[in-house]
Structure 1
Amino acid sequence: MSLVPGRRHTRARTAVRPKDTPDAIVARLLAQIGWARVRIRYVLLDRAFYSASVVRALTQRNVRFVIPMVRRGHAVERFFARGTRGWFEHTIRCRRSRDGSAPVRVAVVPGRSWHRPLVFACSPGFERLPQVILDYRTRFGIETSYRQLGECLARTTCADPVYRLLLVGVSLLIRAWWIAARGVTLGEIRWNLILILTPVPIDTHQPETQTQPPTRPPTTA
């Protein structure tokens, strides 16, 4: 499938197991993107991926990134102070020493409320503060896509991650079908699929055919 400007496309997906680390998840997704030969300008990650291991994984692959900073530890309190604005240097340090550390550039942008600025950990290559927030706002469409994915996702009690990942893939295909079928609601797409996939019950009653002799009504003497 070719990429169409102005549309959102799902080019990679992976199952997440309890022992998977964020950097391992990012590495698998980037590998799938590389296999699809899609050039990455930069990645916009959720705050759940704010860690030194993820930053190192992206830096080693020369991938630019923007990640919301998690307000954790005394070293980052200065970025969340009222009236703070601009670029800063910071080193992310993990709680576990084996995870090491990673340097990042910090972009502090005033939010809607001056009491809570927006703080992002960025890679080199981003120069203008307004552009950082404008770029990251484009990620909010992913939240809408995720909600629509949930509306198409089949329910199951199966714990097999491969099967559950298959259902996610089917849900993404249904959403892509809905986007291509303009003027049709997502509910109509779901209902049509139910009609298509629901098996038709077989009627065991065999009606009489014209080849069979007609039955005569009983006569009275």
Structure 2
Amino acid sequence: MIIAIDLHHQPYYGKPQKGLFRGKAKQGTKKFWSIATACVVERGEKLTLAMAPVYNNRMEDTLDALWPQLQSKGIRIRRLLLDRGFYSADVIDWLQSRNVPFLMPMICRGKKPSKNSPGTGTAQFMAPGRRGFTTHTWKKRRSKLQVTVQVAIVPNPKTKQKTPLLYAYHGRLPNLTYCRELYRKRFGIETSYRESRHCRAWTTTRKENWRRFLQILSFILANAWALLTLGQQKKPWRERLTQQHFQQQLIELLDLPTTQVLTQEPSVAIT
């Protein structure tokens, strides 16, 4: 299976609490209830298979938390798709030591090539018009850890952008076009976050356990809707089961007040 792993940050505006993730300012706050998920992103499927809370920026800890859940399901990973937030020597070493095929964007660091210099770091691969496969080796700062990673230098599909796209990978890639199209599948996990957000109840509680429960429940509901709609892509729009209709049927089944139907913006307040 092709699996994507990413982080979902739910903004928090209250007093500091245990279990919060502190990151860059976004949506007016630096505090988040963050969760990492592993999601299937092939054949139109967007099923979340594993979840784990995130407390820090050590992405190798996130992989450590998700990996046992994936292994317990007996999943054979053909390719792991990660975003640039996972690009670090520790993460690459973690993946290579387990021989996990992966694909992620490289962060541009160093001097860009010029007439008098070939460039340094990963910026040396950013020469306009350059393409192909190569390798890159670097040593982690203040550490003895050194990693070597394969690099795909992919032409940018945007005609006005002459600088190529850079991807770090492990495992076989047949060609550059396949590399670019493969990574585009990763955006299926962003869709899973949007669908789960539509299912998540709103709450003002500061309790971490309750917050995590609502997050997990929202992904379970999104999975249920995704499973019920498998194979409906060829049906006319009017005949498909929409997420809102699924939620309405679920509420009627549970015999809840109709005023608690979840819409685009969560309307259920739980304190």
TM-score, normalised relative to structure 1: 0.78
What are structure 1's unaligned runs of at least 5 residues? 201-221
CA distance in structure 2 between the aligned counterparts of 1:62 and 1:21, rounded to whole angstroms:
20
CA distance in structure 1 between the aligned counterparts of 2:170 and 2:138, rounded to whole angstroms:
12
Instruction: Give the partner amino acid of 1:32.
Output: Q
Q: CA deviation at 1:115?
A: 2.1
CA distance in structure 1 between the aligned counterparts of 2:144 and 2:242, rounded to whole angstroms:
47
Q: CA deviation at 1:84?
A: 1.2
Q: CA deviation at 1:157?
A: 3.1
- Give the corresponding residue for 2:173: 126
- Give the corresponding residue for 2:150: 105
- Give the corresponding residue for 2:81: 44
Q: How many residues align?
A: 195
CA distance in structure 1 between the aligned counterparts of 2:92 and 2:207, rounded to whole angstroms:
31
Are the equivalent residues in 1 in contact too, given 2:110–2:124 (CA < 8 A)? no
Indicate whether 1:21 and 2:63 are aligned: no
Indicate whether 1:59 and 2:67 are aligned: no
Q: Which one has a larger percent helix, Structure 1 or Structure 2?
A: 1
Q: Which one has a larger percent strand, Structure 1 or Structure 2?
A: 2
Q: CA deviation at 1:193?
A: 4.0
Q: CA deviation at 1:46?
A: 0.9
RMSD, matched Cα: 2.3
What are structure 2's unaligned runs of at least 5 residues? 1-39, 112-120, 230-239, 259-271
Q: CA deviation at 1:194?
A: 4.5
Q: Secondary structure at the match of 1:91?
A: strand
CA distance in structure 1 between the aligned counterparts of 2:188 and 2:171, rounded to whole angstroms:
25
Are the equivalent residues in 2 in contact too, given 1:107–1:121 (CA < 8 A)? yes
CA distance in structure 1 between the aligned counterparts of 2:51 and 2:79, rounded to whole angstroms:
18
Segments of 4+ moved more than 6 angstroms: none
Alignment of 1:1-221 (within 5 A): 6=43, 7-17=45-55, 19=56, 21-74=58-111, 75-94=121-140, 96-98=141-143, 100-113=145-158, 114-182=161-229, 183-195=240-252, 196=254, 198=256
Distance 1:64 1:181, change over 3 A: closer
CA distance in structure 2 between the aligned counterparts of 1:157 and 1:16, rounded to whole angstroms:
20
Are the equivalent residues in 1 in contact too, given 2:49–2:70 (CA < 8 A)? yes
Between Structure 1 and Structure 2, whose CA radius of gyration is higher? Answer: 1
CA distance in structure 1 between the aligned counterparts of 2:54 and 2:217, rounded to whole angstroms:
17
Are the equivalent residues in 1 in contact too, given 2:48–2:192 (CA < 8 A)? no
Identical residues among aligned pairs (%): 34
Distance 1:124 1:189, change over 3 A: closer
Q: CA deviation at 1:54?
A: 0.4
